[in-house]
């Protein structure tokens, strides 16, 4: 991966190779500005004396992850046709993993606990229609995708002299995804055309329990994939069940509940359809992200998903979020794409909730008001040099702090428990993200996890 470079005043310069960055650090011409991603700051160079190439940041927005690729625009002249061919050379690949699902689950749990307390404690007047939203606002789980993507666009702009942006503007046809044969007036007739929901399900499932074929008994609506496991309220995720089967299944996965009845499981899965939540999330956020990118004032190129797939197929590039981003827009050739990818996971900055609740929503414990203990907080990247004992050695990883001063250090392959705070040295403050580097293997075009420990200079600087 290319290393980001800043001048002596913190302004971005052209990235350099890892070998050159190491030489600059060893010779004392640079200092470590940031560890993950690795950024160095020169001590003897200013921006005015440097030359620049046209850098472009490309984005491939997704529901669960967004790919980012930092490339250098290249143009070559085809001697056979005299045509000017536009291409790119890849410098860095990133994959930003969102946490929209965790946000949605946390809001749903909070709502359930408030509803439980309202019903079990003293009477509280119901609250509804008392929260206003600005026109065009998005739910928190969707707005999070836009905010984190723009946050990393701004970060990369601080570390590299980016001149232009490229973004894939994709639109999913939800009805065509649900029914590939829909045409004409079929777009005006949804799944429930002419039916009430319960009547539709009675007709679809033969007016019997989907799990035991019970008839002539009250039937209840049941989610095939439980709501607590991310299931939706779409008709394709609903079935009918008698009360005993509904209680027995609860929130269990349907494949676990019917593990001893594979034929019935296959029949139920054949009746249901895949969820379209991811496609709906991309559709809902695409224009919000495009407007935010235009607000940066930089030149913005918008490409279709079909163009990205065409470029990837013609150039023989495997499908990943980061490499999809590199293939966005008009492209005739792509070089340097066989390089590691930095996976950036959104972990958040902790919780405002300082009271732990039991399953009924009542307090069971309290956390300290301050998040820092002896100058460290959970999520900090630390280096622990333990001189003796069972934990003797050097450990680099993420710290989980305790009030007692005995920390846990999460390494790439294990957890070291009970390391005293006096042996820890801070490398990088927690910034709400977790980092993992995965190399590219040309043999099988697969990405396998590797060591996530960053290179940290020793105290002597060597």
**CATH number, residue 383:** 2.30.30
Element spanning 441, H or E: strand 440-441
pLDDT for residue 238 is more than 50? yes
Q: Is residue 130 part of a domain?
A: no
Direct distance between the N- and C-terminal alpha carbons of the chain, in angstroms, rounded to an integer? 21
Give the Cα separation of 365 and 314 in Å (integer): 58
Query: Residues 148-153: what's their mean pLDDT?
Result: 96
* Residue 124: predicted pLDDT: 66
- 290 shares its domain with 267: no
- 29 shares its domain with 153: no
Q: Is residue 355 part of a domain?
A: no
Number of domains in the chain: 4
- 419 shares its domain with 270: no
Q: Which two tokens stand for residue 451?
A: 């060591």
Q: Is residue 187 part of a domain?
A: no
Q: Is residue 183 part of a domain?
A: no
Q: What is the pLDDT of residues 171-212, one digit of tens each?
A: 777 777 777 777 777 777 777 776 678 888 888 888 899 999
Q: What percent of the chain has pLDDT over 90?
A: 50
Q: What percent of the chain has pLDDT over 70?
A: 92
Mean pLDDT of the chain: 86
Let me know: does 241 contact 222? Beta carbons within 8 Å. Answer: yes
Looking from the CA of 64 toward its CB, the CA atoms found within 13 Å total 5
Q: What is the pLDDT of residues 373-394, one digit of tens each?
A: 999 999 899 999 999 988 899 9
The one-character DSSP state at 2 is P
* Residue 82: predicted pLDDT: 77
Q: Which residues pair with 397 in a beta bridge?
A: 382
Range of the domain at 328: 53-119+138-174+276-348+432-462
* Residue 28: predicted pLDDT: 93
Q: Is residue 309 part of a domain?
A: yes
Q: What is the pLDDT of residues 250-271, one digit of tens each?
A: 999 999 999 999 999 988 888 7
- 91 shares its domain with 201: no
**CATH number, residue 159:** 3.30.420.10
- 330 shares its domain with 440: yes
- 85 shares its domain with 170: yes
- 162 shares its domain with 205: no
N residues, the chain: 462
Least confident of 30-34, 49-53, 55-59, 126-130: 126-130
Element spanning 139, H or E: none
Cis peptide before 37 (omega within 30 of 0): yes
Longest Cα separation, the chain: 85
- 334 shares its domain with 458: yes
Radius of gyration of the chain (CA): 27
- 10 shares its domain with 43: yes
Q: Which two tokens stand for residue 111?
A: 């709502």
* Residue 459: predicted pLDDT: 42
Q: Is residue 294 part of a domain?
A: yes
- 209 shares its domain with 251: yes
* Residue 272: predicted pLDDT: 76
Residue 170 — pLDDT band, cuts 50, 70, 90? confident
Query: What distance lies between CA 186 and its chain's CA centroid?
Result: 35
Q: Is residue 179 part of a domain?
A: no
């Amino acid at each position: 991966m290319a290393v980001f470079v800043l001048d002596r005043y913190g302004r971005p310069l052209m990235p350099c190779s890892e070998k050159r960055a190491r030489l600059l650090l060893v010779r004392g011409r640079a200092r470590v500005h940031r560890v993950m991603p690795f950024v160095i700051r020169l001590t003897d160079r200013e921006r005015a004396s440097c030359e620049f190439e046209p850098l472009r940041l490309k984005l491939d927005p997704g529901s669960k992850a967004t790919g980012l690729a930092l490339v250098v625009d290249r143009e070559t002249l085809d001697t056979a046709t005299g045509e000017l061919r536009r291409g790119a050379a890849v410098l860095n690949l990133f994959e930003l993993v969102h946490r929209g699902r965790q946000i949605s689950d946390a809001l749903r749990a909070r709502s359930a606990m408030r509803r439980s307390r309202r019903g079990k404690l003293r009477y509280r007047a119901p609250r509804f229609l008392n929260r206003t939203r600005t026109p065009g606002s998005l739910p928190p789980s969707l707005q999070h995708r836009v905010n984190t993507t723009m946050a990393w666009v701004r970060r990369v702009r601080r570390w590299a002299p980016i001149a232009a942006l490229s973004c894939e503007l994709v639109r999913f046809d939800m009805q065509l995804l649900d029914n590939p044969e829909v045409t004409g007036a079929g777009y005006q007739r949804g799944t429930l055309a002419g039916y009430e929901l319960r009547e539709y399900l009675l007709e679809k499932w033969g007016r019997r329990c989907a799990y035991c074929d019970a008839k002539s008994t009250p039937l209840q609506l049941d989610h095939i994939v439980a709501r607590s496991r991310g299931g939706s309220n779409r008709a394709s995720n609903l079935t009918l069940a008698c009360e005993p089967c509904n209680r027995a299944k609860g929130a269990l996965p349907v494949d676990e509940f019917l593990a001893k009845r594979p034929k019935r499981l296959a029949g139920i899965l054949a009746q249901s359809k895949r969820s379209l939540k991811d496609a709906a999330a991309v559709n809902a956020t695409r224009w919000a992200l495009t407007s935010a990118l235009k607000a940066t004032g930089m030149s913005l190129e918008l490409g279709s998903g079909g163009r990205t797939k065409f470029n990837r197929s013609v150039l023989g590039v495997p499908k990943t979020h980061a490499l999809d981003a590199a293939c966005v827009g008009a492209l005739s050739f792509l070089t340097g794409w066989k390089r590691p990818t930095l996976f950036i996971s959104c972990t958040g900055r902790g919780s405002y909730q300082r009271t732990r609740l039991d399953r009924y929503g009542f307090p069971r414990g309290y956390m300290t008001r301050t998040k820092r203990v002896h100058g460290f907080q959970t999520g900090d990247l630390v280096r622990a040099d333990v001189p003796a004992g069972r934990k003797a050695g050097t450990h680099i990883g993420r710290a989980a702090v305790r009030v007692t001063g005995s920390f846990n250090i999460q390494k790439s392959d294990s957890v070291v428990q009970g390391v005293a705070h006096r042996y820890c040295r801070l490398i990088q403050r927690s910034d709400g993200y977790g980092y993992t580097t995965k190399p590219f293997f040309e043999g099988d075009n697969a990405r396998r996890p590797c060591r996530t420990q960053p290179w940290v200079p020793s105290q002597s600087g060597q």
